[in-house]
Structure 1
Amino acid sequence: MIEITAVAASPEAAAKLANETAAEAISVVPRVLNGGAKPIARLAVIKSAAVPSSPTTPNTRRVLVLAVAAGLLGGVALAVVRFALDTRIRRAEDLRGGGFTVLGVIAHTSRRHRHESDPLRHELLDGQYRALRVAVRQRQTQARSILVAPVASPAGGTRTAAGLAMAYAHAQQHTLLIDVSERNHDTRSSVGATADALDARSVLSAAIVPTIHPLLDMLACGALGEPQADALASPQFAELIRDLTTNYDQIVVYAPPLATSSDAMVVATAVNATLVTVDAGRDDAKAVTRATESLTSAGAAPLGVVLTVSGSRRSAGTRGGTRKSSKAAILATLLGVE
């Protein structure tokens, strides 16, 4: 059986070409096979070609399958390349693999459910901060002043500092939380003016305010005048820390990110220990390495790193139509302010 397939620009032309070829083959093929002798084979048309109702090419189903397969393979290849080039820290294992000492992993409560019973206050009393306090004590028993400094993203730094300070207070230690992240960055203040500011003990005493815990007080730069605010990030900060340790069992200092400010570097040399907070999914390994190496070169090698995992990438929710930043919400909770 011989099957004839014809390809043409139109279905009518293809059917006509196939039928004409079949008719010509009936007389030509026997002569060719027998060399002009008496024919020993005879051809007959079993079924004439009909006008096709659809084109044979392109094969839409096959093209679609191939396109889907190519898209899937391309997507997988792109995902693999993107994963290989993505150096952001996502798990504690990423930090340990880079040689960093992980003191704790803090999973922050999502702020999406603000109608629930004070989730932030519950978070600050959570056991994960107590575990962090124990880890710090095991690493350095005499760390009475601790700096909490984020790498680049400040999202988890404020919560970690507030939660750690609350953990110390909950352990019956009179604790002071110092926020130097919003000082006046005017560098025109002289060292003499800074020293004079540190001597204004009455100003500092008035700036220290109680919080929701009777053993936890807070000192924020925003409550001080310009010279005093600059003093908190000056070399004279060490003198202030020594004076404050006579009244407090534990001091926790929160500084701006290491990647954007030199304040944390100055403060780190004045305290007993430094904790570097790494925001999962935002801070990358290179930034963490630069931050820790900078602290080490300044003579203030960090005690370890804390990985903070946020339950929500959005800022704090709205209340009464006014948006509150994460830091403002935390400080308001500590002070018992609605």
Structure 2
Amino acid sequence: MTEHLTEADAGNPRRRPVADVLSVVRRNWWILLCSALLVGVIGLAFSVVQSSEYRSSATLYVTSGSDPNTQSAYQGSQAAQQRVASYVKLVTSDAIVMEALRDGSINLSMDEARERLTASAAPDTVLVTIGATDTDPERARALATAVAEAMTRYIETLEQPSGGGDSLAKLTVVSFASPAEKVAPRVLRNAGLSVLLGFFLGMLIVYLRERFDTVVRTAANVPSVVGSPVLASVPQEPMLRGGGTINFAAGATSGAAESYRRLRTNLAFSNVDKPPRVVLVASACPGEGKTTTALNLAASLADSGDRVVIVDGDLRRPEVAKRTGRQPAVGLTNYLRGDAKMEDLVQASDFPNLDVLTSGELPPNPAELLASDRAAAGIRELAGSYDYVVVDSPPILPVTDAAVTARSVDGVLLVVRAGSTKQPDLVDAVEMLRAANVSILGLIMNDVQSGNAGYRYSGYASTEEIAAVVKPTSSPATSATSPPVLAGGKQGEPSLGSALNSTGSGR
């Protein structure tokens, strides 16, 4: 499968839902953990401070007496079962509770006693279970015993025929009130349920966060109204986050290096009839990695054998000179003012095929200079001397510089930082470019988590990969006798920092 197809597949909506869910969980694991721990601690604390409760229960057996209408033992059993439901209701009646409190000398009010009492009957049986719960285990046992005895006496009187004789039904205590057992709080159970509840609460928070989150995190989050393909997803790498440039000539095989090679390939396929040769690299807002992308795209194009010049078109906060160790005092603004020819301003390097045109002195009116006919002529002049011209520009939304410069190029590559760029900002930037009748070649996603960066060449990377990345220089101007140092590099290997260390002809 070709490189330009693999990246499209990475953002295909046919991605497995399970993989998407796992990606969301992996991204928000801290919310789930914090929610589960917080609710778990609250549940544990509540259980610890809660008063202990004890329960005692007694069991009674219902029998049917000498009912003259009873024709068989079976009918007697049926009559007893029919009475059971009524007896359960009587347990908390005024007559029973009052008698139990009086005879058992229990210091509780009628309402308090009712709250502590429960009664139940097993289906299809004649057994009634009376339970009493209290913070005092002895009082719980005494209450259960007193209610059971009151029930036996009350039912015997209640079932007495009006004409005298034996009771039609009676209750017999078959299991006296047991020693009260602790039933609450169940600390471990409550803590476990609280953790589980906290986890589900965290899942709800994550769902709502994802549902209303406007941040672009993967290619699938790119709004459909943008209508531009994601040409490359560059995975997170510490050196790139620090503004470094990959040394493709050293055979870098990291995931980021392969992503920029994929970008190089996809750029050639973006317009088969007329491949773009002059490319503007922009982003919606500051801090999304446009300069890093422009430098690495230029380096990857130069590594393929094409002659490339990178132009610092950011006349407000230029970065190219600082990151490449070039002299920032002379550059694009000198040409725009007519102070020098373009060929005298481009700084050559020992790095194969790659030259640099810095911004020059910062002007008070950058947008007017970039919109001038001389700026367009200068870009055309560079296009006639190089296979590729890569222009780094200011962000699109804060200023109009990128929009006016884009009119002089073949197309724009729009840089998006995963987890930072907001969808409304991206949509606004695209609409602004379209309003200027600018061709958008595609999107590049920076800082993508490795699981969302498309295909990776796992297993091919080595320790030499570290030597293939250049640290940005700390000084905006580096002299020709003090080249920037390649982090971990081998002696004699060319790097972008050391290569862009001498000035010379535009070629």
> SS at 2:129's partner residue?
coil
CA contact 1:30–1:42 (8 Å) conserved in 2: yes
Match of 2:316 in 1: 183
**Correspondence list, 1:308-323, <5 A:** 308-310=446-448
Q: Using CA pairs under 8 Å that are at least 6 residues apart, name the structure with larger relative contact order, 1 or 2.
A: 1
Match of 1:334 in 2: 496
Distance 1:138 1:53, change over 3 A: closer
> SS at 1:295's partner residue?
helix
Distance 1:76 1:50 in 2: 44
Distance 1:7 1:159 in 2: 71
- Deviation per CA, 1:123-180: give whole Å up to 9, x if none: 5994543443343333342533210112225443223212222233234332110122
More deviation in 20-29 or 74-83?
20-29
Match of 1:316 in 2: none
Match of 1:104 in 2: 231
Structure 2 unaligned runs (5+)? 1-60, 62-127, 319-332, 451-470, 477-482, 485-494, 502-507
The Cα shift of 1:100 comes to 2.2
Match of 1:225 in 2: 361
Match of 2:264 in 1: 133
CA contact 1:210–1:335 (8 Å) conserved in 2: no
Distance 1:260 1:242, change over 3 A: same
* Correspondence for 1:38 among 154, 165, 182: 165
CA contact 1:278–1:306 (8 Å) conserved in 2: yes
Distance 2:189 2:259 in 1: 56
Letter in 2 for 1:300: V
Structure 1 unaligned runs (5+)? 186-193, 313-322
Match of 2:199 in 1: 72
Please tell me whether Structure 1 or Structure 2 has the larger radius of gyration of its CA atoms. 2
* Correspondence for 1:95 among 214, 219, 222: 222
Match of 1:188 in 2: none
- Deviation per CA, 1:198-232: give whole Å up to 9, x if none: 31115x655432345231101222xx223499476
The answer to whether structure 1 residue 52 and structure 2 residue 189 are counterparts is no
CA contact 1:210–1:217 (8 Å) conserved in 2: yes
> SS at 1:104's partner residue?
strand
**Correspondence list, 1:184-223, <5 A:** 197-201=336-340, 205=343, 207-221=345-359
Letter in 2 for 1:129: Y
Match of 1:191 in 2: none
Same amino acid, percent of matched pairs = 24
CA contact 1:106–1:160 (8 Å) conserved in 2: no
Distance 1:65 1:77 in 2: 19
> SS at 1:34's partner residue?
coil
Distance 1:127 1:195, change over 3 A: closer
Distance 1:218 1:162 in 2: 10
Distance 2:314 2:265 in 1: 26
Letter in 1 for 2:289: G
CA contact 1:110–1:311 (8 Å) conserved in 2: no
> SS at 1:294's partner residue?
helix
CA contact 1:175–1:248 (8 Å) conserved in 2: yes
- Deviation per CA, 1:212-262: give whole Å up to 9, x if none: 5231101222xx223499476343421221233343332110112213332
- Deviation per CA, 1:76-125: give whole Å up to 9, x if none: 222222111123223334438445222511424612699xxx98314599
The Cα shift of 1:311 comes to 6.0
Distance 1:42 1:289 in 2: 82
The total of aligned residue pairs comes to 311
Distance 1:159 1:326, change over 3 A: farther
Distance 1:72 1:121 in 2: 45
Letter in 1 for 2:263: L
Distance 1:25 1:170, change over 3 A: closer
Distance 2:370 2:286 in 1: 20
Distance 1:244 1:146 in 2: 12
Distance 1:249 1:113 in 2: 26
